[in-house]
Amino acid sequence: MSLFSKIFRRKPIEVSVRQAGTSDMKRALSAFDLTFLGIGCIIGTGIFVLTGRAAAVNAGPGIVISFVIAAFVSLFTAFSYAELSTIIPIAGSAYSYSVSGLGEIFGWIVGWDLMLEYLVGASTVAAGWSGYLVTFFEDTFKVTLPKSITQSPILFEEDKFSIVKGAYINVPAMFVAAVVTIILCLGIRESAGVNTVVVFIKLIVIFLFIFGAAKHVKVDRLKPFVPKSEGKDKYGVVGVIRAAQKVFFSYIGFDAVSTAAQEAKNPQRDLPIGIISSLLVCTTLYIATSVVLCGIADFRTLNVPSPITFALRDIPGTRWLQILVGLGALAGLTSVILVLLLSQPRLFMAMANDGLFPKSFARIHPKFKTPVYPTIVSGVTVMVLSGFLPVDLLGDMTSVGTLFAFLFVNISVIAIRHIDPHRHREFKVPLGPYIFPVLGSAISITLIAIAGKSTIIRLFAWMGIGLVIYFVFGIRNSKIQDYIDSVDQGNYKYEDENYV
């Protein structure tokens, strides 16, 4: 077989369907659980930090329009995820869709890029969790936690490394990563239960803020809704669009829902519900929070680490609400870490099942029915990154890497509609396979193109490392050809009664 034929061989969809049906993992997640997984990953830094910063720097009260634009952009790709999740109900998310729709090499690239989103994303959020914990102790108990154990010793700013004097290790970040890892090892039902409780806490806090602070909103602060332009990317229509690009990354967590496909009770029905419902719920909360936040404080003052707490400080009688917002932020970031660390091991497992990673990454614990080994590897990696290293070095790369995944998912919808047009789809992208997937692809390419030069260079360096690993290990151990041969020999048959 030629090298070209090897790298573009596609994993048959019926193999993925059979693997999902014979998996040892517990099918314990309902549509409600999946929706809360999506909300757990989407509602985090975006609502507690980005709402204020993007309003102050770019859009003013027009940040509401930015969130609406970003939601529509995300919805294009969410439709593609929803369709593919109904016909390939297996862990691995965009990797599993790309390896079946576009070929082995594209599946590897997507899987390698998703590692950035999950591992570095979880590390960045863990470091942010530590910062919020420090602020919470200062605001609530007037206690200042020592810098030596709450910050990474290395800083990366403006493409330069520097040493943070007096800082040695970020203990809180490592602690939360360790606790979440232990929970994830114990079982999917336990993990989903913890996530549901944590998500309920942060939703209650957000609702308390929206309804508790709404009576203090001054309509004059929302005028003009789109402030007059003050230069490049600052206010005006351009500022609103620039803010939409920034807040777009607040929504990207919905893809994590599809990684739990093998643990969903009814993946064909529940996965599309979880993906789209979580996106709609979070959009509503983002809009409501933005309106109230800009209505109780001058939007120009909100470029601070905790804008919601900052905005409440000048309102009498809201001390209790400030404390609750701090707790809500900690809960919000905890659920983000949990969902990201839930997703990464299942990505490892999916790639290992196809031979692209070592077999040990595909092991399921006989008692807990979870991929314990890759979960521990992922957790330890996040602990090291968040505890000692400058996660900001890779922060922007996570977003661009995720956009690559979005691009390939949208293209995969088009490809699989042609490869396997008759397979029953519980959910189909509205208006056919071209309009929304093409729009989603075009937007992903545009957002990749306008990313910073250094970010793109580092991303391609990361992809280069991944391709070396693929050609040294992955292509030699891939099981994709074995799957293709088995299907050709009639060992796999379509079991879907709706397939014609």
What are the residues whose beta carbons fall under 8 Å from the beta carbon of 127, sequence distance 6 or more?
A: 152, 170, 173, 386, 391
Structure tokens at 141: 């108990």
pLDDT(374) > 50:
yes
- The mean pLDDT value for 119-129 works out to 88
350 within 8 A of 92, measured Cβ to Cβ: yes
In order of 95, 107, 220, 478, the CA distances from 11 in angstroms are: 11, 10, 58, 10
Q: What is the pLDDT of residue 368?
A: 87
In order of 199, 202, 270, 318, the CA distances from 35 in angstroms are: 11, 15, 9, 31
Q: What is the pLDDT of residue 394?
A: 67
Give dist(CA 467, CA 104) in Å, integer.
12
Nearest to 40 by CA among 166, 229, 200: 200
Q: What is the pLDDT of residues 15-37, one digit of tens each?
A: 998 888 888 888 889 999 999 99
395: pLDDT confidence band, cut at 50, 70 and 90? low
Q: What is the pLDDT of residues 152-209, one digit of tens each?
A: 898 877 667 888 889 899 999 999 999 999 999 998 889 999 999 999 999 999 999 9
% the chain with pLDDT above 90? 53
Computed over every residue of the chain, the mean pLDDT equals: 89
Name the H helices within 117-235.
121-141, 171-186, 188-213
Name the H helices within 297-391.
307-312, 319-353, 372-388
Q: What is the pLDDT of residues 214-265, one digit of tens each?
A: 999 999 999 999 999 887 778 999 899 888 888 887 787 888 888 888 899 9
Q: Show the CA angle centred on residue 282, arms to residues 279 and 285, nearest 5°.
A: 150
The number of beta carbons lying within 10 Å of the beta carbon of residue 377 is 18
* Position 197, amino acid: V
Question: What's the maximum distance between 2 C-alpha atoms anywhere in the chain?
Answer: 75
Q: What is the pLDDT of residue 492?
A: 57
Q: What is the pLDDT of residue 497?
A: 36
pLDDT(65) > 90:
yes
- The mean pLDDT value for 51-58 works out to 89
In order of 76, 82, 335, 399, the CA distances from 413 in angstroms are: 12, 10, 30, 21
Reported as type and span, the H/E element at residue 399 is: helix 392-419
Mention the CATH class of domain 3-488. Answer: mainly alpha
pLDDT(149) > 90:
yes
pLDDT(496) > 50:
no
pLDDT(45) > 90:
no
The number of beta carbons lying within 10 Å of the beta carbon of residue 421 is 9
Structure tokens at 34: 């999946």
